[in-house]
Amino acid sequence: MHCALYDAGRCRSCQWLEKPYPQQLNDKQSLLEQLLAERPVGEWLPPVQSAQQGFRNKAKMVVSGSVERPIFGMVSRDGEPVDLCACPLYPDSFSAVFTLLKPFIARAGLTPYNIVRKRGELKFLLLTESTQGGMMLRFVLRSTSKLQQLRDALPWLQQQLPQLKVISANIQPVHMAILEGDEEIALTPDQTLAERFNQVPLYIRPQSFFQTNPQVAADLYATARDWVAQLPVNSMWDLFCGVGGFGLHCATPEMQLTGIEINAEAIACAQQSAQQLGLEKVSFAALDSTQFATSREAVPQLVLVNPPRRGIGEELCAYLSEMAPDYILYSSCNPTSMAQDIARLAEYDVSRVQLFDMFPHTAHFEVLCLLKKGEKGGTA
């Protein structure tokens, strides 16, 4: 992938951009095999590749510059704004939106926030696109003082960009590098963006997490579904479930499934999908995954975990070791913490592992790992 911003030294987010893509995959696979070297792996499946550009469904733009000439992108270490509208990771469809948002900011009188002076209102723009064509736009503001101006100006923007199905304002009053605050204010009647992977309806709300590489995410969910379908299970937990992508793919009319996620917005999305699919034995709840699991006196046959970068941690590992579900399906965006967790689950055999290149041109990737309860001391 060629990137003029990288060549000019303006952006170094894609640390591995100069490395040929096959080499990127080889290096990631080697790192993963190294991290799991102390455990025998039953089957290594080949890495799932990504498109090398235009794959991201989300842009997180710092807004700087002036109200008349806003700049969308990031602020470099020396305080200089860098325009990232032409970043080749974004799909072509983002360009028209960025182009129209610049005059819109002047129309709405949304002064970009100045980090040094601690003045201004508009901090970030967050744009998400569904593979179904709709978009969600969030304005991250310092306060509600310009909210009415934003509301008054919106009809023009909506007329120009009818693909903006969901629009909201997030209030982030703290002078820190925090992307969003707790308060979300709806600016359109609909606050749910419809998505669809592998014929499974999924939904995205403003404050719910969703994978940023739809093609690879769809492959990841489909692979989990295929692996689970091969197991003799009819009960499972989907912990750290987000909007329910894994559980909804794995669910069948016979599967008793409970999905747990601390983010209530994500759970509302998962519940909407389950209802649409008519899954009567599937339930989702907004709870802490570790607290939910460790308070239960029995476990299902399969526990699926998709934790944040920190992993599932010592407490949940100890509980799973004690309760010993037949299978654990572990999806991770941080192979180092996953390897640490797997080391704690010594009674389990590593049955199958596959790398999913969710983040090309960086050292990051996603992993799916199937663990099977060993018959004696972790040996099948």
CA–CA gap between residue 170 and residue 215 (Å, rounded): 28
Q: Would you say 234 and 208 are in contact if contact means Cβ atoms under 8 Å apart?
A: no
Q: Which two tokens stand for residue 314?
A: 């010592």
Per-position b or e across 283-307, b if 16+ CB within 10 A of its CB: ebeebebbebbeeeeebbbbbbbbb
Q: Which two tokens stand for residue 57?
A: 């469904």
CA–CA gap between residue 259 and residue 244 (Å, rounded): 7
Residues in a beta bridge with 197: 200
Catalytic residue among 3, 241, 333, 369: 333
Question: Long-range pairs for 117-124 at CB < 8 Å and ≥24 separation?
Answer: 118/175, 121/145, 121/146, 122/63, 122/70, 122/146, 123/62, 123/63, 123/172, 124/60, 124/61, 124/62, 124/63, 124/172, 124/179, 124/180
CA–CA gap between residue 48 and residue 358 (Å, rounded): 9
Q: Would you say 249 and 221 are in contact if contact means Cβ atoms under 8 Å apart?
A: yes
Q: Would you say 367 and 41 are in contact if contact means Cβ atoms under 8 Å apart?
A: no
Decide if 317 is catalytic. no
CA–CA gap between residue 112 and residue 99 (Å, rounded): 16
Q: Would you say 226 and 206 are in contact if contact means Cβ atoms under 8 Å apart?
A: no
Which amino acids are annotated catalytic?
A: 333
